[in-house]
Each structure stands twice: as C-alpha cells, then as structure tokens.
Amino acid sequence: MRKSLMIASILAMTGFAAVVLAPAKPAFAGDQLTVTSWGGALQKSMRGAYFEPFSKVTGIKVTEDEWNGEIAKIRAMVESKTVSWDVVDGDRRSAIQLCNEGILEKIDWTRLGLDRSKFIGGDKYDCGVPSFISATVVAYDKDKLPNGPKTMADLFDLKKFPGKRGLWKNPYQNLEWALVADGVATKDVYAVLSTPEGVDRAFKKLDTIKKDVVWWEAGAQPPQLLADGQVVMTSAWNGRVYDAIKNSGKHFGIMWDAEMWGADLWVIPRGGPRLDDAYKFIAFASSAQAQADLTHYISYGPTNKDALALVDAPILPDLPTAPEHMANSIETNHAFWAERGDELRQRFTAWLAK
Amino acid sequence: MSTTVVQIAGEPDTVPLRLKLQRIERRRKLKAVTLVLPLLLFILFAFVLPIGQMMFNAVHDSTLLTLMPRTTAALRAWDGKDLPDEVAYAALAGDLSQAWEQKTMGAIGKRMNYELPGTGSEFTSSAQKARTLSAGPYKAALIEISPLWARHDVWSLLKRGSSAYTAYYLLRSVDYQYGPDSQIVASPPDNSIFRMIFLRTLGISIAVTAATLLLGFPLAYLLATLPPKTSNLLMIMVVLPFWTSLLVRTTAWVVLLQQHGVVNDVLLALHLISQPAELIYNRVGTVLAMTHIQLPFTLLPIYSVMKTIPPIHVRAARSLGAGPFYAFWKVYFPQTLPGIAAGCLLTFILCLGYYITPALVGGPNDQMISYFVAHYTNEELNWGMASALGAILLTATLLLYYVFNKLVGVDRIKLG
C-alpha cells in the first residue's frame, strides 16, 4: 500500500516536472511555413499576391500570424530556441535593432537568386530584403471636411479644424510632424530633432493638441476611427486608407504633404526549422511580378525596381512612390531612431501619462 | 497488572500498540500529503516561484557584471573620485573587443541607455572602433575614440555594475535615480511619472470601491428584503453580467459611450446636449466601466451577510420606539459591516491590478500601474522595471491589507 502510493506520487511528480520543464515545441511540421505580417488589409493583400500563389507554385502551405512590431516576441523566440515564425514582415527599425543583436539571419542574396542592386534600399540592410514601400499620411473624411487639410500645419491647427485627431501611440512620426508643423523644412527635420532644443520644440508643439488626440496602436484602427466619426483626421498607413476607399466605399481623402515613407523588410528569425522554405518564399515575394501584383490589392510601392514597369498606370498616383507625393516628404530615418529611440520613447511614455 | 507487563515483554514479535498507532497515523498523513501534493506543487511552480522570481528581478541585474567582467572587476578598487587608472582602461579595451566578437554590445548598450540615455549607441560604435587597439596605453586612446570614456557618470555606472544587485529599478519606480557620483537624486521631471501613477492607481481604486458601495448597498438591501420570487429575478440580473467575459463587457461600454455611441445619440436626440459629450477615453469611462465590472464583487458579500440578519432585530427596535432610520442605522447597518468590509476589500484589491479596462476605455491619463508593467514587459523588454513596479504594487497591496487588518480585523470580515 505504502509502496504503491509512493510510486504513484513519484510518477505524479515526474509527470508534473516533465510538463513544466519540457520546452514547448512548435506544433507545425511538414511543408508548412509561418509568415507573420501586420494583419488587416495588408495581410489580406499579401495573401492574394504572395501566400496563395506561392502555395500553388511550390506546394508549401503558408500559415499566417500577425504582429504589431513587438520585437520582444521575436527576441524571446530566438533566445528560447522555439522559433515558430519562419518569415516576418518587419519594419526597418526592428530589423536594424534585431540584426545588430544577432537575432536575425544574415540574408544570403545568392541563395535568394536576386540582384541586390535592383532593390530600393537593398544595400542598406544585412538582415532583410525590402518588401514594399509604405507611407504614413494624414487621412480625413471628405464628407465631413470637403476642404480637407492641405499642409502638415493643418493637423495641428485646432482653430481651422476643430475636433479630435488620431495619432499613432509612438514618438516616431509624431515628433517629426510636430517639427514640420512648427515650420521646420522636411529635409532638416532630423537635424533639428538631434538637438535637445529640437526635441523640446517637438513636444511643445504636440502639447498644443494633446487633449484632442485619440491615440491608436494597431494599423487597422485609424480608418475605423474615421468611419465612426471619433476623429476628424488621423495619421494612418496609406494602404489602410486606400483599402477603406476602394473596398469599403468610404469617402476618405489623403493629404500627402510631409508623408513619411519607408520600406518594410522580409526578415528571418535565426534558428527557425524551415530556412530553405523561408528563402524560397522571400525570393517568390520579391519577384517583380509578385510585387506588381501586390499593387492590385493595396497601394504600397514596390521595392523591386523592375516592378514599376509592370504596375498599371491608373494605380500609380495612389502609391507613395509617385513623384508628386515624394516632392515634400520625409524618409523615416531609422538610424536616428535606433540611436535615440530608447530615450525618446521613455520621454514620450512619460509625456503621455501626464 | 504485573502479569500483563510480563506477557507483552514475553512476546517480542508482536508490535506494541503505540507503534502500530503511529504507523497508521503516518500512513494517513502520507495519504493526506499525497492528495495535497499536486496542488502544492502547482502553487509552488505557478505562483510562489514566478512571484519570487519577479521580486528577485527587481533588484538583480548582472548584465554589466557578466558581459563586462574585466572592467567591473578592475573597478572594484576604484575610489570613484577622478577617472580610473590605466588598469581599468586596459580591462575596458578587453571587454569592448569581447563584446564586439560576441555581439553583446547591443545588450550592454541597452543596459547603459536605461540609466544614461544616449550612451548606448556611443558604446556600440566605440566597441567597433576599439577592435583596432592592440597595445597600451589605453586610457588616452579610448578617450580619443569616444568622449564617453572621459565621462565620470559612465564610469560610476560601470562601477555600480560590479555588483549583481542594483537598486536602480526600484529607485526609478519611485522617481529617483543615480547621479553622476552614484548618489541618489530625483529623476528629471520629464521622466518622473511613477509616483503620480501609483497615486492615480490608488485614487481610481478608491473611487471605484466607493461607487460600487454606493450602488451596491441599496441593491443588496433590496435583494435581501424582497420576497424570493422577485429577488431571484433581480439576482440573476446582477449575476448575469458577472458571467460574461470581462473583455466583452468592456467593449460593450465602448459601443455605448463612444462619440456617436448609444448614450450620446440618445442625449442628442432628446436635445439634452448640443454636442456629443466626452464619455470615453477619459476618467469618466474608466471609472464607469470598472464600477460595472466590480459591482457584483462588492454586492455579493454584503448581500449574503444581510441574508443572515434576522428581520426581528429591526422590528424589535421599532417596537421599542426607534424611528425607521434610527433603527436601520443603529441596529441593521452595524451588522452589515463585515460584509461591507469584505466586499470593499475585494473590489479595492482587484482594482489595484486593473489593466485591460483602462487600456480600452481610458485615455493616456487613466492608465494604471499594470499598464506600465505590461508596457515594460511587452514593448521595452525591460524586465527589471516591470519587476520593480510589480514588486512595489504587490508590497503596497500587502501593506494596505495589513493596515486594513489592523483597523477592521480580517477575522471579522465575512464573505457569506
């Protein structure tokens, strides 16, 4: 009796220990590839232009996941050797930071079979392949504001445009725009922001609209905020606004002045079990044809220089890469944010909570 | 009498009764332990261990000690007055090249950025350049590479790194930090928010507790005094939302309170207001939604205590000449106090840890301390800060519980 009880309890204990200590293994196996992107209209477009055609051509099933730039997740995956995201569509800031920390695979361009020089910004990143160019713009509802904002100063002008504004809950873009609205030329923004006085100036400008800001965190929120009438205008990713206009029939307008553009990057978290397939996928999604196909779904600009020729002419003016939009624009300076991001984020978080 | 003794002594192989009893007793104990063991282990692994780990993380940080072993060792002898001597600089050069080789500059730079913003990237670039140094004297060469290494506060930070324990995170959590000579100074106003956030957490919790009590007490009284048929129906209406997911209830408030939501539309249609009122993404929405969620927690203990109060007490008081209010206040109300104490304590402590509701219906000014714990865990990956804030919240909660116990007495509270 006693012996059996002891055996039972030992068994129970070891069983418990096994449950607690056994590392969680990714549950997928076989020809499945997990690609993680930003959800919403973007992911839907990628599904149409990349995931489904890729599965059709190669027979590799694509499992999708979503993220909102939480680099901590990737770091934790790689550090605990439980990488379940094979390919991630990352923003450049995350890609630079994670690359420096050795969290990402270095891209072997010969293995991809692609010409690195054909990609906008391709030479700048060791751990990523530029995937598309998007921009953050100011969107507004044409039904409510027939004479919408024309310049960045209008976003900060509560007299001319009373009401709430939506802004991304993040220091980047907001600080740059605050300076532009305060009269800094788009090309000088980062020079001014590098000085302590410039940072103070940006926060001071943001102070003027702070009580009228609705802060959004996920890219799907701004079109919703506009549609619900929660805000009169909002910063938004241009592709999301385009999707709301095209597919949901909204009368949204886009103000392209001081658009902040940048490329996303395909990255591969280090130590994933399906490296070969990950390369195959990135090669497929970076081909000129696939990138041109993406513009049928969403108005993001291709990074592959060959793709522009394949883009339909009527779509071109909706892309952030259109020459008239690029005239007065800011290329997000990720080197600046990699260097000063920690400090400015801390200050922004504190500023926000006050 | 003596014969029995002889008898037992004469039979050596029979076990004495006392031993037999002991054995049975031990077996029973073992059985009890075996039954309790799974839960005990579960609590140990899922509760005590993580919380202990969290408390430990709040004061333990060996980043600099393990990643810059030579420098931190050399700095033990440094008096902290002028710049350190050549030995420390030579050690630094060794650590820098090791950091470059092992790709740990990012982690070190991140740690340095916490305390001295802007030094992280300077550190990374100097680690890159320091690879070219092969022979001394290192001091002048390193200062030449980066002015960082002539900064006294940087060296003070590295010296503090020679201990695996740091008070930095706890200090930051109450708006203090280390100055250039490792003395404790107040954080700059741009970054000092946590004392305010703790007070805010406390304020919102008190407001919600008071609101649930004001709403819950009359309702509990009604439920306890109505005939069962009606009170059961009312009870279901109280408990039904209680069974709905917290997230669903919170989102329902968004639908109700938003600018063009149900409440505003009705008020506008009735011409009670001319512009939509701001009901959400501010303190009003936060307290409203939290009060709704917490109401059953305050109400149910009060209700179950009220159920046990015999109605004849009040009737006796009335028959002895007390007015209706006097009888209620002097006879009935004091008997409900244990229920009130239990309900309020439950609600108050649950409120201290609220996260999702303020995040969804509150504005940036309404975020409570849990929001910052989540922020540091998920977004900044600064586990030290997250742990320190969590540890302070836990300690504050225990302290409040202790004070409550002294004032009211936990043995006096009743959950039913």
Instruction: Write out pLDDT tens, residues B86-117.
Output: 999 999 999 998 888 787 888 898 899 889 88
* A5–B121 CB contact, under 8 Å: no
A131 closest CA partner among A90, A182, A172, A179: A90
| Contact between A196 and A344 (Cβ < 8 Å) | no
Distance from CA of B194 to the nearest CA of A (A): 9
User: Looking at the predicted structure, is the pLDDT value of residue B5 above 70?
Assistant: no
pLDDT of residue B185: 93
Q: What residue in A sits closest to B366 (Cα-Cα)?
A: A353
Q: What residue in A sits closest to B372 (Cα-Cα)?
A: A349
pLDDT of residue B222: 93
pLDDT of residue B370: 94
Percent of chain B exceeding pLDDT 90 equals 58
Whether the link from the prior residue into B358 is cis, omega within 30° of 0, is no
Burial class of residue B296 (count of CB atoms within 10 Å of its CB; 0-12, 13-18, 19+): buried
* Residue B14, phi-psi category: left (phi > 0), alpha (psi -120 to 50), beta (remainder): beta
pLDDT of residue A29: 45
pLDDT of residue B2: 47
| Range with the poorest average pLDDT among A102-106, B103-107, B356-360 | B103-107
pLDDT of residue B199: 95
Report chain A's mean pLDDT, rounded to a whole number.
86
Give every CB contact of residue B377 below 8 A, 6+ residues apart in sequence: A72, B383, B386
Q: What domains lie within chain A, and their CATH numbers?
A: 32-133+263-321 (3.40.190.10), 135-261+324-353 (3.40.190.10)
Q: What whole-number distance in Å separates Cα of residue A19 and Cα of residue B38?
A: 13
pLDDT digits (tens, 9 = 90+) for B173-223: 999 999 988 899 998 888 889 999 999 999 999 999 999 999 999 999 999
Q: What whole-number distance in Å separates Cα of residue A89 and Cα of residue A48?
A: 16
A72 closest CA partner among B360, B386, B168: B386
Quick count: other Cβ atoms within 10 Å of Cβ B134? 7
Option in B117, B281, B363 nearest A346 (CB): B117
Strand partners, B60: B165
pLDDT of residue B287: 95
B364 falls in which pLDDT band (50, 70, 90)? confident
What's the number of CA atoms in the CB half-sphere (13 Å) around residue A279?
14
pLDDT digits (tens, 9 = 90+) for A177-218: 999 999 999 999 999 999 999 999 999 999 999 989 999 988
- Chain B partners within 8 Å of A353 (Cβ): 193, 196-197, 364-365, 367, 372
The CA–CA distances, whole Å, from B388 to A78, A342, B193, B195, B385 equal 25, 19, 14, 13, 5
Give every CB contact of residue B286 below 8 A, 6+ residues apart in sequence: B204, B357, B358, B361, B362, B366
Q: What domains lie within chain B, and their CATH numbers?
A: 2-57 (no CATH), 63-186 (no CATH), 194-412 (1.10.3720.10)
Q: What whole-number distance in Å separates Cα of residue A128 and Cα of residue A150?
A: 35
- Coil/strand/helix, residue B46: helix
What average pLDDT does range A212-240 have in this prediction? 90
* B367–A350 CB contact, under 8 Å: no
What average pLDDT does range B2-13 have in this prediction? 51
- How many degrees, rounded to 5, is the angle at CA B79 between CA B77 and CA B80? 120
Option in A164, A342, A351 nearest B120 (CB): A342
Substitution target from B125, B259, B280, B383 for chain A, most A beta carbons within 10 A: B259
For residue A89 the two structure tokens come to 């569509």
A27 falls in which pLDDT band (50, 70, 90)? very low
User: Looking at the predicted structure, is the pLDDT value of residue B60 above 60?
Assistant: yes
* B191–A2 CB contact, under 8 Å: no
User: Looking at the predicted structure, is the pLDDT value of residue B13 above 80?
Assistant: no
pLDDT digits (tens, 9 = 90+) for A154-171: 999 999 999 899 999 989
Q: What whole-number distance in Å separates Cα of residue B175 and Cα of residue B388?
A: 12
* B41–A72 CB contact, under 8 Å: no
A19 falls in which pLDDT band (50, 70, 90)? very low
Q: Which residue has the higher pLDDT, A4 or A197?
A: A197
- Chain B partners within 8 Å of A354 (Cβ): 193, 196, 365
Option in A16, A228, A342 nearest B260 (CB): A228
Distance from CA of A39 to the nearest CA of B (A): 18
B415 falls in which pLDDT band (50, 70, 90)? low
Report chain B's mean pLDDT, rounded to a whole number.
89
User: Looking at the predicted structure, is the pLDDT value of residue A16 above 50?
Assistant: no
User: Looking at the predicted structure, is the pLDDT value of residue A321 above 60?
Assistant: yes
pLDDT of residue A21: 43
- Chain B partners within 8 Å of A1 (Cβ): 27
Chain A, chain B: beta-carbon pairs less than 8 Å apart: 88
For residue B406 the two structure tokens come to 């002294």
B55 falls in which pLDDT band (50, 70, 90)? very high
User: Looking at the predicted structure, is the pLDDT value of residue B3 above 60?
Assistant: no
- Chain B partners within 8 Å of A343 (Cβ): 113, 117-118
User: Looking at the predicted structure, is the pLDDT value of residue A25 above 50?
Assistant: no
| Contact between B391 and B284 (Cβ < 8 Å) | no
- Coil/strand/helix, residue A45: helix
Q: What whole-number distance in Å separates Cα of residue A298 and Cα of residue A294?
A: 6
- Chain B partners within 8 Å of A67 (Cβ): none
| Range with the poorest average pLDDT among A76-80, A109-113, A149-153, B367-371 | A76-80
| Contact between B159 and B112 (Cβ < 8 Å) | no
Roughly what angle, to the nearest 10 degrees, separates helices A334-353 and A196-207?
50
Q: Quick one: three-class SS letters along B345-409?
A: HHHHHHHHCCCHHHHHHCCHHHCCHHHHHHHHHHHCCCHHHHHHHHHHHHHHHHHHHHHHHHHCC
Q: What whole-number distance in Å separates Cα of residue A75 and Cα of residue B167?
A: 26
* A350–B378 CB contact, under 8 Å: no
User: Looking at the predicted structure, is the pLDDT value of residue B408 above 80?
Assistant: no
| Chain A interface includes B53 (CB < 8 A) | no
* A20–B27 CB contact, under 8 Å: no
| Range with the poorest average pLDDT among A53-62, B129-138, B165-174, B183-192 | B129-138
pLDDT of residue B414: 65
- Chain B partners within 8 Å of A2 (Cβ): 27, 30
pLDDT digits (tens, 9 = 90+) for B34-43: 999 999 999 9
The CA–CA distances, whole Å, from A296 to A44, A253, B218 equal 12, 19, 61
Q: What residue in A sits closest to B128 (Cα-Cα)?
A: A100
What average pLDDT does range A324-337 have in this prediction? 86
